[in-house]
Structure 1
Amino acid sequence: MAHPKHRTSKQRRNKRRTHDAITVTAIAKCSNCGAAVQYHTVCPECGYYRGKLAIEKAVVA
C-alpha cells in the first residue's frame, strides 16, 4: 500500500480540492411549452427539441 513520506499540508490539500466543487447545470426555457429544461436535451413535458417533435408523448386519459 502507498505510504506518504510527508504529511500533506492544509494549503496543498485545499489547492488540490479547488476543482472538486459541484457546478450548477444551465437551465433553459422550452421554446414550445415554456417548461424548464436542461440544454441539449429533449423537453420532458412536450417531447420537442429545437422546434421539432423528438419523442411522441403518450396521452393519459
Structure 2
Amino acid sequence: MGVPKKKTTRARKGARRSHHHVKSGAYVKCDNCGELKIPHSVCSACGYYKKEQVVEVSEL
C-alpha cells in the first residue's frame, strides 16, 4: 500500500485545489422590469418570460 514519504505543503495542496472554488452565478437583466434574474427563467419580480407574462405576481 502506497504511503506518502513527505508532508504535502500548503502551496502544493492549494495549487492542486485551485479549480475547486465556487463560481458566481450568471445573471441577466429582465427585459420587462430590469431586475436581475437567472437566464432562461421567469422573472421573480414581474412574472415575465421572453416578453410574455406567464406567472401572476402578487403584491405584498
1:8 and 2:1 aligned: no
Q: Which residue of 2 is the match for residue 24 of structure 1?
A: 24
Partner of 2:44: 44
Distance 1:50 1:9, change over 3 A: same
Unaligned runs of 5+ in 1: none
What is the alpha-carbon distance in structure 2 between the residues aligned to residue 59 and residue 19 of structure 1? 42
Pairs aligned (count): 57
Q: Which residue of 1 aligns with 2:58?
A: 58
Report deviation, 1:25. Answer: 1.4
How far is the alpha carbon of 1:11 from its aligned partner?
A: 5.0
| Structure 2 gaps, min length 5 | none
Q: Normalising by the residue count of structure 1, what TM-score does the alignment of the two structures yield?
A: 0.68
* Alignment RMSD (CA, Å): 2.1
**TM-score normalised by length of structure 2:** 0.69
Cα distance in 2 between the residues matched to 1:49 and 1:16: 41
